[in-house]
Homo-oligomer: A and B are copies of this chain.
């Protein structure tokens, strides 16, 4: 099957291989499934979950009771159990065979079975004759064994129901590691019974009890997902020190931080009290979290707290540590030994990769493939998050283009490449809470999931976007709110409004994106992250504007026809008129709502862009290169519109700039008359 044929299947991630069959399997109210071979309660729950989800996406009243073999539409055979505690690299493969009369799913382990069920769910769609799945034979297995999503519950407390539905989303796109960043400067969110002041004083009262954590781990295991906890140390740990100042490098009292950025406080690596404390703590958490890996963080220690403490300076001298990096290496080794003592292996950010580190650690790279490659060359395993920081508001295509085995890792030997286990999308929550988290994670993370699962050759961004749009809709049937909640947030911004006013707000929001990278955090007015309301336009609009992307494609298409395609021209013109006139429609609302008012400059820019677009079309219609003065004037307008305002970018600016340049250049567009 070619990639094009695979793409036609509307699957995400695309399978390792697929052979099309003839006809399709009808899915109606009689649909049923049966388990053969190995079975366990988890599989039965997966079967019922599959049927419930099928009922939701089709609206068919299905029976959730198990069928008798002879009558089942879907026959599932699993060979044997998977490991009691899910391990890295277990067999996750499956074979799914859909014919006109039946579907057969075979897998070695329940992990493969569950992945196959998700594939079948994605195959079912509405057809001219009812719901159906196309006949196909799929043989599928993941490219990487570590396919993760990290959620930061510390900066903003994330309720368990939000995490649960995101685990549902992970299952749908075959991700298998939930990395829970559960403590940081801004809050400690996991209950410790032995060290109760960690949450008692180190949180605002919002944290997860051990019982809730155990429930969540069980929920994840039910979906073939490992839970790797991260307790970031020795930095990112102000919240620990509120209750336990003794383990800090500087004297207290400490308070929970509320700011954006890297903080100074750090654990005292020279104090044996620190290791005694961590021995107790890691021992307790190692029992609570069954996974073999224990994430110890290790990132972004700025060393100021160490420099400020004469005892620590003295310790460095005695041990002949010239730099704070060497001191951190000492700390890392001590902590890694504690992790091992409690039966686990350590995973941590780049900084834990220090000379003499045990070979069982996993390097989690926020720095890039170069660091991963360097580690692999020394026999260390690693995973990549650089390029998958979904808090940076990049496009799906930009993340999609990043490969864990790209860059410096591309030159590794096949054996070394085996050491690169996969990657993790990271949802840092400085500007993310219960309400907009789904929209920050989805649908883009489905594209990242495809990068981790599908063959290396699957790289066509157009195909990805076409399928992403479909999976995005389906993810909402799971209860994710990435499409519905932004609209509710716009209603909040609008307040009571006429349908015309609200439509104008939607028109504006549809072509805005939040500023990229760390621009928002670096802007002074937004630095108090936990007390800043996330109810602004920048919080409501998705990281990537679909309308903006489609408009860009339309302009490219128009220019590629030498600006001769009349149909496209008329669509562009209609769009420009809407944008030009939109600001006037939005004005009454902007005068009533302070939240709408914040986007006034963006709205005026959009109106200006609409006018500029019309001018460019008019100029092109004249059939000769536009004067330089006109071009300079227009480009100045564009330049102004490109400047971020209210932490927002106006996406159509780039494409309109192209039109202006096309109108000005002596190229095809300017030299041709419109039809």
Contact = CB atoms under 8 A, between A and B. Distances in A.
Interface in A542-572: 546, 550
Given A59-B533, A484-B484, A533-B60, A130 B492 contact: no
A29 interface: yes
B126 A533 contact: no
Interface in A386-413: none
Given A126-B493, A473-B491, A205 B61 contact: no
- Copy tally for this chain in the complex stands at 2
A72 B332 CA distance: 48
A84 interface: no
A156 to B, nearest CB: 9
Given A29-B533, A60-B535, A495 B126 contact: yes
A57 interface: yes
Nearest to A532: B61
Given A128-B593, A595-B126, A488 B495 contact: no
A48 to B, nearest CB: 12
Given A126-B593, A592-B126, A533 B495 contact: no
A10 B495 CA distance: 11
A574 to B, nearest CB: 12
A492 B594 CA distance: 37
A476 interface: yes
Nearest to A595: B126
A477 interface: yes
Given A533-B29, A535-B58, A127 B484 contact: no
Contacts of A67: none
Contacts of A530: 61
Given A58-B535, A60-B535, A492-B126, A205 B65 contact: yes
A88 interface: no
Interface residues on A, range: 35 or more
B535 A125 contact: no
A196 interface: no
Contacts of A127: 495, 592-594
Given A126-B493, A593-B126, A593-B127, A533 B61 contact: yes
A126 B60 contact: no
A127 B126 CA distance: 45
Contacts of A591: 128
A57 B488 CA distance: 9
A531 B205 CA distance: 48
A635 interface: no
A531 B59 contact: no
A254 to B, nearest CB: 21
Contacts of A531: 29, 61
A57 to B, nearest CB: 7
A503 to B, nearest CB: 12
A470 B10 CA distance: 39
A127 B597 CA distance: 10
A560 to B, nearest CB: 20
With a 10 A CB-CB cut-off, give which of A61, A435, A476 has the most chain B CB atoms.
A61
Given A59-B533, A531-B61, A535-B60, A128 B594 contact: yes
Interface in A55-108: 56-61, 63, 65
A597 B29 contact: no
A327 interface: no
Contacts of A61: 433, 530-534
Nearest to A481: B484
A58 B496 contact: no
Given A531-B29, A550-B499, A492 B593 contact: no
A504 B537 CA distance: 28
Contacts of A29: 531, 533
Nearest to A534: B59
A489 interface: yes
A492 B59 contact: yes
A470 B496 contact: yes
Nearest to A493: B126
A628 interface: no
Nearest to A474: B491
Interface in A194-209: 204-205
Identify the 4 closest CB pairs spanning chains A and B, nearest first: A59-B535, A126-B495, A126-B593, A484-B484
Interface of A: 10, 29, 56-61, 63, 65, 125-130, 204-205, 433, 435, 469-470, 473, 476-477, 484, 487-489, 491-496, 499, 530-535, 539, 546, 550, 591-597
26 contacts: A29-B531, A57-B492, A58-B533, A58-B535, A59-B492, A59-B533, A59-B539, A61-B531, A63-B204, A65-B205, A125-B496, A126-B493, A126-B494, A126-B495, A126-B592, A126-B593, A126-B594, A126-B595, A126-B596, A127-B592, A127-B593, A128-B592, A128-B593, A128-B594, A128-B597, A499-B546
Given A29-B531, A59-B492, 14 more contacts: A10-B496, A57-B492, A58-B492, A59-B534, A60-B535, A61-B534, A63-B204, A125-B496, A126-B493, A126-B495, A127-B594, A128-B593, A484-B484, A499-B546
